[in-house]
Chain A
Amino acid sequence: DTAVSQTPKYLVTQMGNDKSIKCEQNLGHDTMYWYKQDSKKFLKIMFSYNNKELIINETVPNRFSPKSPDKAHLNLHINSLELGDSAVYFCASSHEGGRTEAFFGQGTRLTVV
């Protein structure tokens, strides 16, 4: 029944590793997003993606890349992890146009050691 699900919920890894976070939505939405939430709870948009367009926040390092095998999935792949990447990452989805709300996953707490 979960609308937006992401895995894993917790991820602890060493610096320099490559990791992926998976996200799936069963709402039939056509737009998906990745947000990063820092320790002060500030939410920063990383990517938004629909069938037509990938919008990348220009401040996001190119070590981060979204991968969408189909409309219901938007995975986040991170290369060469750094200590500063430690944060909570949220996946979200909405209908295109945003007149309805975005639905969020439960978050993935990434800790880089």
Chain B
Amino acid sequence: GNSVTQMEGPVTLSEEAFLTINCTYTATGYPSLFWYVQYPGEGLQLLLKATKADDKGSNKGFEATYRKETTSFHLEKGSVQVSDSAVYFCALYSNTGNQFYFGTGTSLTVIP
């Protein structure tokens, strides 16, 4: 089956710290992988994506690389800001399931 596992939060970091949020997946076929971000009171917004193995998605200083050998898509940012405080969701799309599968979300709080 298809599923996404991401590290549990909450995560609290000081401003300018390095961020890693782990994400691993199980999928049939060749999934596309995504990271979404949800700010308080809002819907999910796409942060970055990768559609095939070894692709690197990047946006706003965040990066994630599609690793087929380890079935992972870890999110990283070199220096977080207070404005990065949000809930982050790892997701995959599998055309064998015709839907997006989401991880449980990781809450990030960045303190000044």
Contact = CB atoms under 8 A, between A and B. Distances in A.
Interface string B81-106: 00000010100011100111110110
Contacts of A41: 38, 87, 104-105, 107
B95 A107 contact: no
Interface residues on A, range: 20 to 34
Nearest to A57: B99
B20 interface: no
A107 B43 contact: yes
Contact of A53 (B38, B51, B98, B104): B98
A42 B42 contact: no
Interface residues of B, number: 24
A43 B43 contact: no
A55 interface: yes
Interface in B46-66: 46, 49, 51
B14 interface: no
A13 B93 CA distance: 34
B32 interface: yes
Contacts of A92: 44, 100
Given A90-B43, A101-B49, A33 B100 contact: yes
A101 B34 contact: yes
B45 interface: yes
A98 B32 contact: yes
Contacts of B34: 101
Interface of B: 32, 34, 36, 38, 42-46, 49, 51, 87, 89, 93-95, 98-102, 104-105, 107
Top 4 nearest A-B pairs (CB, nearest first) are A98-B93, A104-B43, A41-B105, A43-B102
Given A45-B100, A99-B93, A104-B43, 14 more contacts: A4-B43, A33-B99, A35-B102, A40-B104, A41-B38, A41-B87, A42-B104, A43-B105, A53-B98, A55-B98, A98-B99, A102-B100, A104-B45, A106-B43
26 contacts: A31-B98, A33-B99, A41-B38, A41-B104, A41-B107, A42-B104, A43-B44, A43-B105, A45-B100, A45-B101, A90-B44, A92-B100, A94-B93, A94-B100, A98-B32, A98-B99, A101-B34, A101-B46, A101-B49, A104-B36, A104-B43, A104-B44, A105-B43, A106-B42, A106-B43, A107-B42
